[in-house]
Amino acid sequence: MMVTFYLLYRLEKKLDLMIEVLHQLKVDSTKKPPNLFTKQHY
């Protein structure tokens, strides 16, 4: 029982993260290239 709850919790966290990333990409695409990536790479 606890294991399934834990897995669901982790899945939810992953989905939240993915949604956030997708939203960020959408916002960035309307403007300029994302600053986060350039900062990280260079």
Measured CA to CA, the distance from residue 12 to residue 4 in angstroms comes to 12
pLDDT at residue 42, rounded to an integer: 44
Give the number of domains in the chain.
1
Q: Is residue 3 part of a domain?
A: yes
Q: Is residue 15 part of a domain?
A: yes
Q: Is residue 31 part of a domain?
A: no
Q: Which of 39, 41, 37 is nearest to 21 (CA)?
A: 37
pLDDT at residue 18, rounded to an integer: 92
pLDDT digits (tens, 9 = 90+) for 15-24: 999 999 998 8
Integer angstrom CA distances of residue 30 from 5, 22, 26, 35, 42: 38, 13, 7, 13, 23
At 40, the amino acid letter reads: Q
Q: Is residue 17 part of a domain?
A: yes
Q: Is residue 21 part of a domain?
A: yes
Q: Is residue 9 part of a domain?
A: yes
The answer on pLDDT for 41 being more than 50 is no
- Cβ atoms of residues 34 and 28 within 8 Å: yes
Q: 């899945």: which residue's tokens?
A: 11
pTM (2 d.p.): 0.48
- Domain with 10 in it: 1-26
